[in-house]
């Protein structure tokens, strides 16, 4: 697990990020999300959305032209969305809807330096008007200067030391640390990013990124750029492969899919190895006695993954530019894993324990290559809750690939790595219907879930996706028995896997950013469902209910801890060690007094949350303490639901959430809050 620990004045500062949503000029389909252990905020009602929001299938040249257009207009766009004079935009991706709306994804720079956690998506109408901006951070990007107080050598030493503590093998960084602005959590600061290579303790290549505060030398964040995943030792049977013939020689080069090539590393751990080639077009013999068997499985898995994305979402390759990646098999000696590497833009497979079971099944390819899709769209950080969403996205799309392939030897299921017997007991690595069955994954959200290994925190999104697709309760699908529970004990009716995949993909490509957490994932998937299927239909309600069933947000119609809710999603800045601020909601249409179990759901983005004191203020000015300050509470953000006995208060009137920062050096803002009357 990759943990983060930083603070300008304290240690063990665990980061948890909330994606900020800025709205301009249109009714918000993206309502601010509140996340808590109990069911909480639901988006404000919006008019039923038109199905014209479906994405256009762009050719690589059309996509490239739109990105060039965005690059030409980047200065104007930056000004339009209120960026500072030192900030610039770098367009990275674009999605076009059938109604002409463009969703353009940008990276950001400040004084020429990359802003990590500064990514954003700008939605532009066909008229050219900016409709909405979705930001990875809501903080203003501004630093006193860009001259570091610590040396590059000091930053490099910190990174190398950390890499060695995690099993790394290198004594120096791959390159000199680069200056960046770190904005993914807290107040943006000047920092160094250092990348340490070599190998991890299990033989996996290492690309540890360490972010160091350039003023204090404190570590701000770290993440592993090599995405480890699942394995599956079951073969796909006799399949058709697309190869290339030159004279009398055939090669595993798929000219129909961006020239995706498959190489034999022959136990090596670097380079591309040797392109599989032979004088006949029959590859492998179904056993490990022939090296080409693993090559055939990997080549087939890559083809199925390409076809799944193209035919399901209109995506042409991992980068959506028509260019294939490449695969490498027979990596290392008895390496029991597989991984995607953005650096080489390639997929790599080990041969398993004793080199007896190459990890080259369909869902492995789908899972690992989906890491590449995530990297080239939302760029979800591979740590904390966003890391869990990153892993879940690969599980979700890997499952989609397996169902899409419809292979009789490896039928579609909601089990991850079901053919690998790593634990020696014949069980899958992960279960989407009830993630906790693996002994480590979580079925439902709770405030500390971001501290888990990303392969375990992914359980919440996996469970959400299963419920959205198939619904709760006992059932048999393709011969596999499932029995999915819900955190609130209420049933969920599924909408089918095809629609669930469309919702997740649209959210990933147009709503998620690098810092998206579970609350923001709920927000993004609801927006996606509304755009694809309308906000009054079964699909939108099912997304609400499926998230509520994993303890993220409220049920449709207020069920499962809902009731009548009154919410304020406007951001309110909380001054550092300053005066209290308030955010108001007006309650109307109630009779009599407030209940004895009034629910107050709070979503506050703030580093070192122990600085905060929170009160609920009733219409007559009476105050109810929700949270005291604590000098030992170093975690980020307040995302909680409090129960208040407000039975002595008249229900109707203006209620306020009052927040005050009572200690120096950490800042934040009220993201949203809500009152719920049962």
Active site residues: 368, 455
**Could you tell me which of 250, 236, 350 has the C-alpha nearest to residue 286?**
236
- Identify the helix (H) or strand (E) that includes residue 65: helix 60-72
Whether the CB-CB separation of 159 and 210 falls below 8 Å is answered with yes
Neighbours of 109 (CB within 10 A): 18
State the burial class of residue 528 (Cβ atoms within 10 Å of its Cβ: 0-12, 13-18, 19+). buried
Coil, strand or helix at 675: strand
**Could you tell me which of 299, 457, 469 has the C-alpha nearest to residue 369?**
299
C-alpha pair distances (Å), 434 with each of 361, 450, 560, 606? 23, 19, 19, 33
Q: Which residues pair with 430 in a beta bridge?
A: 416
* Burial per residue of 149-163, b for 16 or more beta-carbon CB atoms within 10 angstroms, e otherwise: ebebebbbbbbbebb
Q: Where would I find the beta strands (DSSP E) of 6-54?
A: 20-23
Non-local CB neighbours of 102 within 8 Å, separated by 6+ positions: 66, 70, 94, 95, 96, 122, 123, 124
Could you identify the residue written with the tokens 């066909």?
126
For the four alpha carbons of 296, 301, 307 and 310, in that order, the dihedral sign comes to negative
Coil, strand or helix at 649: coil
Q: What are 47's two structure tokens?
A: 């008019």
**Could you tell me which of 2, 3, 1, 5 has the C-alpha nearest to residue 634?**
5
Whether the CB-CB separation of 652 and 587 falls below 8 Å is answered with yes
CA distance linking residue 482 with residue 166, whole number of Å: 37
C-alpha pair distances (Å), 237 with each of 35, 284, 285, 300, 444? 45, 11, 10, 10, 37
Non-local CB neighbours of 92 within 8 Å, separated by 6+ positions: 67, 105, 106, 107, 119, 376
Could you identify the residue written with the tokens 């990105």?
67
**Could you tell me which of 23, 138, 30 has the C-alpha nearest to residue 510?**
30
Backbone angles phi, psi at 364, to 5 degrees: -65, -50
Reported as half-sphere exposure (CB side, CA atoms, 13 A), residue 460 has a value of 32
CA distance linking residue 382 with residue 432, whole number of Å: 20
Backbone angles phi, psi at 576, to 5 degrees: -70, 120
**Could you tell me which of 661, 604, 603, 611 has the C-alpha nearest to residue 632?**
611
Q: What are 665's two structure tokens?
A: 């050096």
What's the start-to-end Cα distance of the chain, in Å? 40
């Amino acid at each position: 697990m990759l943990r983060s620990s930083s603070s300008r004045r304290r240690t063990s500062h665990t980061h948890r990020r909330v994606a900020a949503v800025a709205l301009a000029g249109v009714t918000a389909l993206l309502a601010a999300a509140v996340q808590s252990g109990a069911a909480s905020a639901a988006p404000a009602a919006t008019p039923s959305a038109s199905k014209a929001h479906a994405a256009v299938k762009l050719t690589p040249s059309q996509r490239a032209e739109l990105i060039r257009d965005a690059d030409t207009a980047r200065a104007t766009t930056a000004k339009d969305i209120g960026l500072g004079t030192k900030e610039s935009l770098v367009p990275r991706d674009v999605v076009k809807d059938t109604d002409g709306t463009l969703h353009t994804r940008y990276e950001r720079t400040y004084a020429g330096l990359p802003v990590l956690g500064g990514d954003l998506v700008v939605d532009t109408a066909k008229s050219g008007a900016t409709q909405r901006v979705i930001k990875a951070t809501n903080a203003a990007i501004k630093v006193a200067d860009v001259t570091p107080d610590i040396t590059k050598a000091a930053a490099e030493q910190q990174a190398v030391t950390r890499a060695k503590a995690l099993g790394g093998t290198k004594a120096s960084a791959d390159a000199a640390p680069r200056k960046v602005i770190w904005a993914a959590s807290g107040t943006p600061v000047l920092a160094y990013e250092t990348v340490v290579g070599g190998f991890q303790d299990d033989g996996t290549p290492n690309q540890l990124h360490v972010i160091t505060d350039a003023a204090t030398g404190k570590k701000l964040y770290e993440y592993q750029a090599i995405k480890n995943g699942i394995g599956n030792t079951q073969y796909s049977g006799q399949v058709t492969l697309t190869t290339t013939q030159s004279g009398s020689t055939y090669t595993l080069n798929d000219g129909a899919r961006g020239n995706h090539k498959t190489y034999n590393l022959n136990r090596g751990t670097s380079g591309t190895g040797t392109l599989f080639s032979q004088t006949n077009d029959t590859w492998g013999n179904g056993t490990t006695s022939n090296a080409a068997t693993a090559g055939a499985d990997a080549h087939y898995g890559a083809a199925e993954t390409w076809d799944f994305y193209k035919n399901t979402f209109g995506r042409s390759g991992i980068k959506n530019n028509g260019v294939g990646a490449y695969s490498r098999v027979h990596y290392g000696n008895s390496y029991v894993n597989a991984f995607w590497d953005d650096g080489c833009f390639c997929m790599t497979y080990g041969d398993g324990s004793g080199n007896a079971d190459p990890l080259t099944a369909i869902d492995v390819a789908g899972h690992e290559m989906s890491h590449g899709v995530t990297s080239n769209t939302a760029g979800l950080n591979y740590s904390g809750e966003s890391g869990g969403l990153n892993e879940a996205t690969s599980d979700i799309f890997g499952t989609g690939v397996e169902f899409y392939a419809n292979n009789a030897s490896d039928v579609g299921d909601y089990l991850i790595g079901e053919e690998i017997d790593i634990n020696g007991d014949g069980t899958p690595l992960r279960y989407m219907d009830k993630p906790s069955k693996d002994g480590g994954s979580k079925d439902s959200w709770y405030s500390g879930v971001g501290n888990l290994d990303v392969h375990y925190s992914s359980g919440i999104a996996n469970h959400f996706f299963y419920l959205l697709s198939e619904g709760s309760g006992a059932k048999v699908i393709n011969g596999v028995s499932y029995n999915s529970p819900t955190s609130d004990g209420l049933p969920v009716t599924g909408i089918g896997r095809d629609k669930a995949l469309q919702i997740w993909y649209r959210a990933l490509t147009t709503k998620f950013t690098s810092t998206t957490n579970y609350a923001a994932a709920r927000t993004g998937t609801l927006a996606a469902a509304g755009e694809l299927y309308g906000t009054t239909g079964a699909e939108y309600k099912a997304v609400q209910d499926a998230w509520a069933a994993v303890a993220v947000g409220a049920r449709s119609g207020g069920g499962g801890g809902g009731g009548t809710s009154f919410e304020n999603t406007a951001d309110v800045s909380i001054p550092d060690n300053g005066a209290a601020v308030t955010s108001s909601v007006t309650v109307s249409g109630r009779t009599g007094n407030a209940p004895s179990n009034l629910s107050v759901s709070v979503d506050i983005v703030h580093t070192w949350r122990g600085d905060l004191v929170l009160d609920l203020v009733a219409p007559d000015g009476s105050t109810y303490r929700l949270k005291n300050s604590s000098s030992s509470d170093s975690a980020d953000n307040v995302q909680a639901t409090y129960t208040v006995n407000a039975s002595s208060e008249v229900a109707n009137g203006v209620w306020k959430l009052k927040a005050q920062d009572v200690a120096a050096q950490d800042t934040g803002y009220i993201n949203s809050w809500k009152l719920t009357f049962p």
